Each structure stands twice: as C-alpha cells, then as structure tokens.
Amino acid sequence: MPSLRKESDEALIDRLKSGNAEALAELFDRYSRVVFSIASRILRDRGEAEDLMQDVFLEIYRDVARFDPVRGSVRTWLLQYAYHRSLNRKKYLQRRGFYEFGEARVESAAAPSEELPRCDSEELLRSGIEQLNERERRTIEMVCFEGLTLREISERSREALANTRNHYYRGLKKLRALLFRAHETNEEIGRARR
C-alpha cells in the first residue's frame, strides 16, 4: 500500500471513514504532539495527558463520520477535541481530589525527590503499591507496565469505565500522598541537618 504521508488531512479522514486504520496512524503521527501539549498544559500531569491523548484519537476513530469540513479543518477538529476533553478531565480530577495538594505540589510529589536516593524511592513505591487494594494495584500495573488505556482495561476486566478510572485515580492518589509525605519528611531531615 502506498505511503499516506503525502495525503491531505481531509483525504486521511475519507480513508478513515472507509475503514482504513492506517489513516488514523498517520493522523496520530501528525498531531499527537500538539494534542499531548494541550492536554499537558491543562491537566498538569504527564500520565493523564498521555492517557487523554490516546482517548482523543480513539474517539476520532469512532466519531470520524461527524467530521464536517464546512465547520473547519481536521487540525481544528482534533484540537477542539483535545481542548474540550482536557477541560472535562480536569474538572473530573478536581472533583476526585486529584489536585488536592495544589498542582505544583502534586507534580513534585509525583516525582521522587532529588534528595531521596533512588533505591529508597523505589522501595517506597514498591511498598506503596503493596498497600493498594488488588483492583487499584492491577489497574495501575496494567497502565504502567502493559501500556493499556483505562478503556482497554475496562473492556478486559468487564468493568464499567467509571469504576476502572476510580480504581486508577484512587490508587494514584494514595501513591502521591505517600511520596508527598516521604518528600516532606526528607525535607524536614535536611533542614534539621543544616
């Protein structure tokens, strides 16, 4: 099959409408960075932004028949999807307490402290994962180690997507709180040594 790289966005949409999945891959190559960038700026969390980016392209694939060239370009359509889905996701996360510590503090808590030795942070994460209930642990492991989206996990486990998301975000919240407490303790130890 000839390369789709030279095809216009509109031609790719037409191919997608006729069931050509390679057209979606080409659209992903063209626009995944900008969709990820929008999601990152709004959500302030890399993992969330990556998950949302995948969801946007899955929705584009599912809803391709809704594309109307009279209303705007393919790029505009994609970016509107990304923007609106990101805002909706952020509202959902705020209701669930995802940003409980404030966005800046969540970001610092999500990454192991520079002062915390790597082996300590790995042990901390390992013990944190052991403290999660089975559904939270399995969901996080499937996202992190198998690269599955929450929708795929929901389908595989035959559980409602809302429940799968709940397991994932509740587990992440517990891990972030654990890392945040460790970070705070580490800073207190550092201040005491000075």
| Residues spanned by the domain of 72 | 9-95
Residues 82 and 121 occupy one common structural domain? no
Domain-ending residue, one of 66, 95, 124? 95
CA 148 to chain centroid: 11
User: Could you tell me if 187 and 115 are in contact, meaning their C-beta atoms sit under 8 angstroms apart?
Assistant: yes
| Six-digit token string for 69 | 């060239």
At 7-52, the pLDDT tens digits run 899 999 999 888 888 888 888 889 989 999 889 888 988 888 888 9
Interatomic CA distance for residues 121 and 183, integer angstroms: 10
Residues 122 and 81 occupy one common structural domain? no
The CA-atom distances, in angstroms, between 30 and each of 3, 33, 63, 146, 183 are 14, 8, 18, 25, 39
Total-model pTM: 0.52
At 63-115, the pLDDT tens digits run 898 888 888 889 888 888 888 999 998 888 888 788 775 544 444 444 444 44
CATH of the domain at 23: 1.10.1740.10
Residues 90 and 114 occupy one common structural domain? no
133 residue type, one letter: N
